[in-house]
Structures are given as structure tokens and as C-alpha cells.
Amino acid sequence: MKANLTKLVSGAVVISRFNGKNDRLVYAFPGLPPTANKIWRSGSTSAKLPGLGPDPFLHAGRRKARTHRAPDYVKWINERLTDLFGIAPLDAPKYGFAVDLVVWPPNNRRFDIDNRIKPTLDMLTHAGVWEDDSAVTVITAARRPVIVKGGWTAVSVRPAAGIGETVSEFFWLDPKLRNSVIPKEEL
């Protein structure tokens, strides 16, 4: 099986293996995915004009809220897409992906690991790994106990058929590859 290791200017690492049963994409990058609680924002919801009463063209005197992606989330997606530009998609079925997400936090502050999954899946969808994140059938997520300055995230994507591995597969990678994915504080 041929493995390609690419170190990027952003500090991220992409490992892709193709032409074999265990095709996979491993993408590790500095920082954490944004929380799902902060990826959507909405505009103003109140709109009574002072002294004029309700606007007859607005429902019950309220402006319709406009929902949009938060600017920080859009910036994060674009940074990740820049890293993944030109990476060949997996030679895998359109349905049945397994995703492993490992997060090394930047500090001891508490956060919900499940809120980091959706932005990561959306990023992989935008990168063209699959058509829609509904193609993911297995998700494994872990928060490592080791603190890494600035935080660090590693994502592994592979076909879900024949899954017997878990997030621990990051620790069983070839040492040369493992050292580029796992932060030095963890080793």
C-alpha cells in the first residue's frame, strides 16, 4: 500500500493511502474544530420601528431572522480546504465511511467533544471526501488527556467495511507517520 505524507505550511499534516483495501485519509492540523454551538448566527429578530408601530410588511412587527454561518467558522473551513486542496478523494463507496476524531486540548477547560464532530464532518464534505456527511456510518471521537499548546486535531477517514479498529489506530501507525500526526507532547 502506498502512503503519501504531506506536511503543509500551516503546520497541518495529510497522510493518504490509496490503491489498497485500507484506503484512508489522515488529516492532522493545529487547533481545534469550532464548536457546533457557534457555527450558525442569526440577524436581528426585533424590528418595531420606534413610534411607528408594527411594519405591515413584516410578520407581527418582527423582522424575519436571517441565519448565516459565523465568520470565524467560514474562516476555519477555508483554512482547512486550503490544506486539503488537490488531495485525491478516497477510492471508497459513496456510503459507509468511518471517521475517527482525536482532539488534544490547548488547556484544561471543559468542552463537549460531540460539538467538535459536526464542524469536522462539514469540513470534509466541503473538501469533497464524500457528497454528504450522511455517508458516515461510524464515528469515534476521543479527547486526549495531554495538553498541547494551541491544541491539535487528527481525523482519519476510511471505508467502514471490516472495521475492527478504533481511535487507537493513530498510535499504531508507522512511527515515522505517527510522529507527524500525534503531537510531541503525547509521544
pLDDT value at residue 121: 93
Residue from 82, 77, 92 nearest 17 by CA: 92
Each residue of 87-100: pLDDT tens digit? 655 555 667 888 99
- Scored b (16 or more CB within 10 A) or e, 60-97 reads eeeeeeeeeeeeebeebbeebeebbeebeebebeeebb
- Look over the chain and give the mean of its residue pLDDT values, rounded to a whole number: 76
> How far apart are alpha carbons 31 and 149 in whole angstroms?
9
> pLDDT-based confidence at 21, cuts 50/70/90?
low
Each residue of 26-74: pLDDT tens digit? 889 999 999 888 787 776 444 444 444 444 454 555 555 567 788 888 8
pLDDT value at residue 185: 74
- Establish if 128 belongs to a structural domain: yes
- Establish if 106 belongs to a structural domain: yes
pLDDT at 3 over 60: yes
What is the domain extent for residue 20?
2-38+69-181
User: Mean of the pLDDT values across residues 11-38?
Assistant: 78
Q: Hey, what long-range contacts does 4-13 have (CB within 8 A, 24 or more apart)?
A: 5/176, 5/177, 5/180, 6/87, 7/180, 8/83, 10/79, 10/82, 10/83, 12/83, 13/180, 13/181
Structure-block grid coordinates of residue 57: 410588511
Return the percentage of the chain with pLDDT > 70, whole number. Answer: 69
- Establish if 46 belongs to a structural domain: no
pLDDT at 135 over 70: yes
- Establish if 56 belongs to a structural domain: no
Angstrom distances, CA of residue 49 to CA of 14, 46, 55, 56, 121: 53, 9, 7, 11, 41
- Establish if 27 belongs to a structural domain: yes
Which three-class secondary structure state does DSSP give residue 41?
strand
In the chain, % helix, strand, coil (3-state, to 5) comes to: 25, 25, 45
Residue from 24, 16, 17, 31 nearest 80 by CA: 31
Q: Which of 32-36, 54-58, 109-113, 173-177 has the lowest mean pLDDT?
A: 54-58
The count of structural domains within the chain is 1
User: Mean of the pLDDT values across residues 99-104?
Assistant: 93
User: Mean of the pLDDT values across residues 76-80?
Assistant: 88
pTM as predicted: 0.72
- Establish if 86 belongs to a structural domain: yes
Residue 26 in contact with residue 15, Cβ under 8 Å? yes
* Domain harbouring 163, CATH code: 3.30.1330.70
- Establish if 49 belongs to a structural domain: no
Provide the Cα torsion 26, 31, 36, 41; round to 10°: -130
Residues in the chain: 187
